[in-house]
Chain A
């Protein structure tokens, strides 16, 4: 059973704050065949789709978006990623096998409540992507999935040295394409998944925040 959600929103709808503090229980990222098919199964979900709204970063419980209204966080309890944005899953801490997120036959990733479908899993046709979107949406909603997702493996990713300096050297910025940058960034989990306007991000800032507390290590050597 789906939890109560704010009213259904269309493709590329502006989402995020301003929902009376109620978390959007389910968020779908991607307005392609998989995302649209999933939205039909999950009519109360928030759909984040380019070009109106771009998901540029994710953290547990939040997708960060940029749109015509600036940068905003969109809260979620469950998430279905139908866009080719593996760095969003990497930022959340999902497990990967090569360049693909590790998922089961319903698209469930290694993280509870977070699913993937469509082009990010290698769907070769629009029909296959839509079918994957429906399977993952049903599974996410607790319904029988009605099928199995077949993962299409990618060739192993090249080993990448650590650190942004290595990434920048390898990608040859600024000339590298967005896709190349994301491919190279995945093994080190660099953020953000897509670039974001500095000015729009700055608009989010309020007063200078207090320093984040230092953290204590209490673990043992072994």
Chain B
């Protein structure tokens, strides 16, 4: 391609979404991916499309993104496996139900009515197989899930159709702003330059920020998941728990995906993660206690992806305060998949207009000087 207008680092969903929106605004976009598209968080995500239980700062983005998911084919040409099954956060006792009801009240006070408390009877109507001790829940009926890798590939195809270029196996080893351009050197291939740089490098995003002298205090983790053998259909919505980590869904082929936040041990250099079997055992126990009919099934797959985690567990989305033409977008803390469609539009707005009409002040990269406050319910990864 001729000299790009924008270089996006990271071939995951957020990088590709940003690149797609930049390309649709007429810019020549080059995506540099150090491994392969979808090789990390975007390929290993549980695929939850959830507005339920989010930090209040994320709610406007999650609601906006959910609207895009409901017409995702208009954006990328296919439905990405999105199913609006609803999501349910279970209460296992009265104290948890009070917590969920208070959350719904707080959300309504902030102007949002999409989270709906449900009692024991409605919970059983939604989840006939749920354990008898569950007393109710909180529901978003328009939430659901999609197929992560398929989604990532759909965004890539749409980007390439719009004229964008994706280069895999290109690890950036140096970045520097000189004059009006970013100059990047990669481990293989010729140096590249462009006026706009988007740091969508996922778990590796903080490393680039640090290289540029921007200390963004991210850590990383390896959330784990399990997938059972196929079972007869027994649950439609995605299910989370309130008092313990859980994300639970049954796919169309009958397999049940169980995740929610228990972590393995990641290795950024090797780009892989090691499982923590005792913690997976606790996930299995949680799932079994909530859905006793799992007793006869077997676990066919287990995995862990690499995720960047912020101290307040909400992402970094914003312009650099040190350099012009640099947008940071990483740190989705294990629940960024659902935000992918809208985040791309926001990044394009920031890169080209310097601002966006969505409220993103809470996500500014320089926010950590004043401490950390979270307004989310316990959130499952994926």
Contact = CB atoms under 8 A, between A and B. Distances in A.
Interface of A: 57, 59, 64, 71, 73, 91, 93, 161-169, 173-174, 181, 185, 189-192, 195-199, 201-206, 208-209, 211-212, 214-217, 219-222
A215 B255 contact: no
B117 to A, nearest CB: 25
A93 B263 CA distance: 19
A203 B289 CA distance: 11
B285 A205 contact: yes
Interface stretch (B17-25, B291-299, B369-377): B291-299
> Which of A164, A173, A206, A209 has the most C-beta atoms of chain B within 10 angstroms of its own C-beta?
A164
Contacts of A93: 270
A190 B303 contact: yes
B173 interface: yes
Contact of B173 (A203, A214, A221): A221
A214 B288 contact: no
Nearest to B310: A214
Contacts of B229: 174, 195
Nearest to B289: A202
Contacts of B261: 211
B207 A219 contact: yes
Nearest to A199: B295
Given A205-B281, A211-B262, A212-B276, 11 more contacts: A59-B275, A161-B149, A164-B43, A164-B301, A166-B149, A168-B227, A191-B301, A198-B298, A202-B287, A206-B278, A221-B207
A165 B147 contact: yes
A166 B43 contact: yes
A166 B151 CA distance: 11
Given A209-B278, A221-B175, A221-B211, A162 B284 contact: no
- Which of A195, A197, A219, A220 counts the most B-chain CB atoms under 10 A from its CB? A195
Contacts of A64: 277
A57 B277 contact: yes
A152 B64 CA distance: 56
Contacts of A189: 272
8 contacts: A162-B40, A163-B38, A165-B43, A168-B301, A190-B301, A190-B303, A199-B294, A201-B280
B282 A211 contact: no
Contact of B227 (A164, A205, A209, A219): A164
Contacts of B265: 212, 215
Given A59-B277, A165-B148, A209-B279, A217 B220 contact: yes
B203 A167 contact: no
Contacts of B69: none
A166 B228 CA distance: 16
A64 B221 CA distance: 23
B281 A201 contact: yes
A216 B219 contact: yes
Contact of A59 (B39, B274, B281): B274
B62 to A, nearest CB: 22
B97 to A, nearest CB: 19
| Most B CB within 10 A of own CB, among A189, A202, A208 | A202
Contacts of A220: 207, 211
B280 to A, nearest CB: 7
A117 to B, nearest CB: 25
A206 B284 CA distance: 11
A181 B300 CA distance: 9
B268 A221 contact: no
A202 B277 CA distance: 10
B264 A212 contact: yes
B221 A215 contact: yes
Given A174-B254, A212-B263, A198 B302 contact: no
Interface string B299-335: 1111100000100000000000000000000000000
Contacts of B225: 164
A214 B207 contact: no
Contact of A204 (B207, B210, B278): B278
A162 B149 contact: yes
A202 B263 contact: no
B255 A205 contact: no
Given A189-B272, A208-B244, A161 B150 contact: no
B281 A173 contact: no
Given A166-B149, A216-B219, A217-B206, A195 B255 contact: no
B361 interface: no
Given A165-B150, A221-B207, A174 B284 contact: no
Contacts of B278: 204-206, 209
Q: Which of A173, A196, A198, A214 has the most CB of B within 10 A?
A: A198
A161 B36 contact: yes
A22 B45 CA distance: 38
Contacts of B211: 220-221
Contact of A192 (B43, B274, B281, B299): B299
Contact of A214 (B221, B264, B275, B287): B221
B362 interface: no
Given A161-B36, A215-B266, A198 B303 contact: no
B175 A198 contact: no
Of B148, B254, B276, B277, the most chain A CB neighbours within 10 A belong to: B277
A195 B229 CA distance: 9
B269 to A, nearest CB: 7
